[in-house]
């Protein structure tokens, strides 16, 4: 089922999220966050998720999200990417 997927990675990097960066965002590509420090609430649409060190979160493209910090700043590794699939499967 995963055969033929073609990811296009647009960005990978360490990101520090502080209070000025808590406004809602909409990613035009898929987002994957791996949290490396801190605690926060990740608000996705109308749902809220607790995140902390070693949490992995995936957001499909065009998903609105924001962070609510719980104390100190949060550090994470962010990956922005698109995925296409081959039309035909090998025989």
The 10s digit of each residue's pLDDT in 23-42 is 899 999 999 999 999 999 99
Question: Given pLDDT bands bounded at 50, 70 and 90, which one contains residue 19?
Answer: confident
Three-class SS string for 25-36? EECCCEEEEEEE
Question: Given pLDDT bands bounded at 50, 70 and 90, which one contains residue 49?
Answer: very high
Question: What does each C-alpha distance from 24 to 9, 28, 35 come to in angstroms?
Answer: 23, 13, 18
Q: pLDDT tens digits for 74-91?
A: 999 999 999 888 776 655
- Cβ atoms of residues 74 and 37 within 8 Å: yes
pLDDT value of residue 3: 72
C-alpha–C-alpha distance, residues 69 and 40, integer Å: 4
**What is the model's pTM?**
0.85
């Amino acid at each position: 089922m995963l055969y033929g997927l073609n990811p296009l990675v647009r960005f990978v990097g360490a990101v520090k999220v502080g209070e000025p960066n808590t406004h809602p965002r909409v990613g035009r590509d898929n987002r994957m966050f791996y949290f490396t420090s801190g605690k926060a609430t990740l608000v996705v649409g109308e749902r809220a998720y607790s995140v902390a060190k070693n949490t992995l979160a995936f957001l499909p493209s065009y998903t609105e999200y924001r962070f609510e910090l719980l104390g100190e700043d949060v550090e994470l590794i962010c990956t922005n990417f698109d995925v296409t699939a081959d039309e035909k499967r090998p025989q």
